[in-house]
């Protein structure tokens, strides 16, 4: 019962370094999402992919890029990390498209940028 798997769980970067956060789901879901969680801010949508082959910007896309590699995998890339990107990142997915369908979340990647 893996659900949504995120790697790595923790990462420390230096300013200017790049890295890719990986996300994979095994529920055959069409839509996938990347959020960041900051204290007092709730969850904010970075990018999403409504279906394989499509990606769209969310609320806070600046400084990030995404790739929907296939139906299972949706990665988030920081090209040049900045301290303001220190956050907890969550990947989520949902199956049948409809407003009644909840999203399923991974356990998060805790990213610190020094």
Q: Which residues bind another protein (CB under 8 A)?
A: 4, 31, 33, 40-45, 48, 50, 56, 58, 90, 92, 94, 97-108
Name which of 78 and 90 has its Cβ closer to another protein: 90
| Closest approach of another protein to the CB of residue 31, in Å | 7
Q: Which of 51, 82, 50 is nearest to 64 (CA)?
A: 82
Name which of 1 and 14 has its Cβ closer to another protein: 1
Name which of 34 and 78 has its Cβ closer to another protein: 34
Q: Report d(CA 34, CA 45) in Å as an integer.
A: 6
Name which of 55 and 86 has its Cβ closer to another protein: 55
Q: Which residue has the tokens 């301290």?
A: 83
| Closest approach of another protein to the CB of residue 81, in Å | 22
Q: Report d(CA 61, CA 10) in Å as an integer.
A: 21
Q: Which residue has the tokens 């399923």?
A: 104
Count other C-beta atoms under 10 Å from residue 25's C-beta: 24
| Closest approach of another protein to the CB of residue 8, in Å | 14
Are 81 and 89 in contact by the 8 Å Cβ rule? The answer is: no
């Amino acid at each position: 019962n893996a659900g949504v798997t995120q790697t790595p769980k923790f990462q420390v970067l230096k300013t200017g370094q790049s890295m890719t956060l990986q996300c994979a789901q095994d529920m055959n879901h069409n839509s996938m999402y990347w959020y960041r969680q900051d204290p007092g801010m709730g969850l904010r949508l970075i990018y999403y992919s409504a279906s394989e082959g499509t990606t769209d910007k969310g609320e806070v896309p600046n400084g990030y890029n995404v790739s929907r590699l296939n139906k299972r995998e949706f990665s988030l890339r920081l090209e040049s990390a900045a301290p303001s990107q220190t956050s907890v990142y969550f990947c989520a997915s949902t199956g049948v498209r409809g407003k009644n369908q909840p999203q399923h979340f991974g356990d998060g990647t805790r990213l610190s940028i020094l």
